């Protein structure tokens, strides 16, 4: 029997070397660095670069952007030595394709986009992976996974209110290629709660593959 690729786990909102190392040692596949000006977890380019350089070669470093110009995104991505870019908000297709010429892109969609038939039906452009998130990013509010089962795109990632308590159920319901969380892993804005980070990574990985997981 060929097993599907294991679910990838991204721990977002990293604002320090200490929290980057914590997530990497917990087994995270990717760290998220939020550069969106609106965020309470915003990190600077030099801190993100230093944090990313401290977690070894196998952990992806994803920059999170919202409402920022193309030049700014590419400049910050290069400065922080990112390995991928996560794009939130309404954006022209051309913008997304242009970023994808330089970095793998996680393109964030909202449930309404999928339920209205936008974004999920046609295959994404090369280098672009859909990620489903709540309408208010970083709000810690879970989605109605059961309602999305028929429209969740194969290979897509899932975010929105995930934490140690509910990630296994989300994985079993939607079978995402990756999961991502921030609010429910924090002791305060931008500061990780170590036990919750470890428990989140463990619960996500133990829930895979969904066919064999009973928890």
Ligand X SMILES: O=C(O)c1ccccc1N[C@@H]1O[C@H](COP(=O)(O)O)[C@@H](O)[C@H]1O
Q: How far is the CB of 21 from ligand X (least distance, A)?
A: 19
Identify the CA nearest to 18 among candidates 37, 8, 31. 31
Residue of 113, 133, 144, 150 marked catalytic: 133
Q: How far is the CB of 190 from ligand X (least distance, A)?
A: 9
Contact pattern for ligand X over residues 159 through 198, marking x by CB under 6 A: xxxx-----------------xxxxx--------------
Distance CA 84, CA 89 (A): 17
Kindly tell me which of 64 and 99 has the beta carbon lying closer to ligand X: 64
- Per the annotation, the verdict on 12 as an active-site residue is yes
- Interface stretch with ligand X, choices 53-61, 77-85, 157-165, 206-214 (CB under 6 A): 157-165
Q: Is 66 in the site for ligand X (CB under 6 A)?
A: yes
Q: How far is the CB of 37 from ligand X (least distance, A)?
A: 9
What residue ranges bind ligand X (CB under 6 A)? Answer: 12-13, 32, 34, 36, 38-41, 64, 66, 88, 133-134, 137-140, 159-162, 180-184
Active site residues: 12, 133
């Amino acid at each position: 029997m060929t097993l599907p690729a294991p679910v990838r786990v991204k721990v977002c909102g990293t604002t320090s070397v200490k929290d980057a190392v914590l997530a990497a040692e917990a087994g995270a596949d990717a760290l998220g660095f939020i550069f969106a000006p609106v965020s309470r977890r915003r990190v600077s380019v030099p801190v993100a670069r230093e944090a990313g350089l401290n977690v070894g070669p196998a952990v992806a470093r994803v920059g999170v952007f919202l409402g920022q110009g193309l030049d700014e995104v590419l400049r910050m991505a290069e400065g922080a030595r990112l390995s991928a870019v996560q794009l939130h908000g309404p954006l022209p297709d051309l913008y997304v394709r242009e970023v994808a010429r330089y970095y793998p892109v996680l393109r964030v969609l909202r449930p309404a986009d999928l339920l209205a038939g936008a974004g999920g039906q046609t295959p994404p452009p090369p280098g672009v992976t859909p990620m489903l998130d709540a309408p208010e990013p970083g709000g810690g509010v879970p989605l109605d996974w059961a309602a999305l089962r028929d429209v969740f795109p194969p290979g897509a990632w899932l975010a929105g209110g995930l934490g140690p308590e509910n990630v296994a159920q989300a994985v079993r319901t939607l079978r995402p290629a990756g999961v991502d969380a921030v609010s429910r892993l924090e002791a305060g804005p931008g500061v990780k709660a170590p036990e919750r980070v470890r428990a989140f990574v463990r619960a996500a990985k133990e829930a895979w593959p969904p066919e064999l997981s009973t928890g």
